[in-house]
Homo-oligomer: A and B are copies of this chain.
């Protein structure tokens, strides 16, 4: 079999995992008959890396971005720099030089996937990106290949392990948001600056990548309503648990007739739901497929070896000659139309509304009246225990399906009631797609 030679750009956590898999004897080489070889590692820290990698394997360590591109023996360039500037340059130059590309860069794909895919096809090359969503879970491949004949009705789940770890710690150990984030940082699950994760941006990037594959449309990042977990109140997690729900940061895409409803937000899932039982840094993705039915995949969404495993699976797919063919032929990688999105005000969901309400006769009635006037039907009302020294008791309203715009209007009106002294009620969506 023809030897496929690889250049890895960026040898951080994931890159080092990729190098170790490529350089170790093991299943990859047994299964593929030694047809893949690591030839270059491109990284500024060449001296440091020389100590990390085996010396006798003939790997060329360099900080010269161009060297592997000039080498006709290199067939695959693996971009693991991250970011959207140098990474993009490297990918474009690699494609132009006739290399196939593997990347884990969801930010780049979410923001510039269209141009990059078009560029790759124009040069007769391919871009593979299994590692860009949910690390060790082969979700990209499962949609692209396993569900190739399936109309996708919805795809949603937990695609950010950092947020899931934080929410799990808040739920199971009763930590505050701040303490849970600090714990995640201490364990290396969160960056020093965790904003990309906790504000939901990373999840939105991944959702954009999934949506293109699942629905064959492109979506601009700024069009995905995105809410993170930094505003989550520990009390809501506790009240929700009392009602049988677990709070998860979800990325959600649902087909509504010819339009798509996209969003990233903390949402309540019934605790028996397979996505709800996924705790810690694990990821979980639920797909409702027109033929295959409901499919749930859970696994490691990040980390050195899970992500490296996904990167290497793409390298192998190219080495075995099959990925580029897929890329050149499937419509999702070609010019796709823009998504026709449901505006957030038209989302129809059940809602959890929590407000501090003065314990006086008729108080609940006033709230209920406003909800009724806005067309929001109440499924249940739960008064929580009054905090010590407080006059207002937290009251949770669970609604039937209602329109998000109507809920917004109702909350504006309720926040002006004198019997609701705590300000605007807190709102969480209940996901039961």
Residue of B nearest to A35 (CB): B329
Provide the A98-139 mask, 1 if CB < 8 A to any CB of B, else 0. 000000000000000000000000000000001000011110
Task: Determine the chain B residues whose CB is within 8 A of the CB of A290 once the complex forms.
Answer: 27, 305
Q: Which of A38-46, A230-238, A262-270, A314-322 contacts B (4 or more CB under 8 A)?
A: A314-322
Task: Answer yes or no: A47 CB below 8 A from chain B CBs.
Answer: no
Partner of A130, one of B26, B146, B272, B274: B146
Partner of A142, one of B1, B138, B331, B332: B138
Task: Determine the chain B residues whose CB is within 8 A of the CB of A147 once the complex forms.
Answer: 138, 309, 313
Task: Determine the chain B residues whose CB is within 8 A of the CB of A300 once the complex forms.
Answer: 292-295
Residue of B nearest to A301 (CB): B293
* Chain A interface residue number, banded: 35 or more
SS class, residues of chain A in contact with chain B = mixed
CB distance from A22 to the nearest CB of B (A): 8
Question: By the criterion CB–CB under 8 Å, are A295 and B297 in contact?
Answer: yes
Question: By the criterion CB–CB under 8 Å, are A216 and B292 in contact?
Answer: no
CB contact under 8 A between A31 and B332, given known A272-B277, A316-B145, A320-B325: yes
Task: Answer yes or no: A428 CB below 8 A from chain B CBs.
Answer: no
Question: By the criterion CB–CB under 8 Å, are A293 and B322 in contact?
Answer: no
Question: By the criterion CB–CB under 8 Å, are A294 and B299 in contact?
Answer: yes
Partner of A321, one of B32, B295, B325: B325
Task: Determine the chain B residues whose CB is within 8 A of the CB of A33 once the complex forms.
Answer: 329, 331
Question: By the criterion CB–CB under 8 Å, are A291 and B136 in contact?
Answer: yes
- A98 CA to B309 CA, complexed, in Å: 35
- In chain A, residues 285-340, which have Cβ atoms closer than 8 Å to a Cβ of chain B? 289-300, 303, 305-306, 308-310, 312-313, 316-317, 320-323, 325-326, 329-332
Among all A-B residue pairs, the 5 with the closest Cβ atoms = A322-B322, A138-B146, A136-B292, A28-B149, A291-B309
Task: Determine the chain B residues whose CB is within 8 A of the CB of A142 once the complex forms.
Answer: 138, 141-142, 146
CB distance from A125 to the nearest CB of B (A): 16
Question: Known pairs A136-B289, A291-B305, A293-B300. 6 more at Cβ < 8 A?
Answer: A28-B149, A32-B331, A141-B142, A146-B313, A291-B309, A322-B326
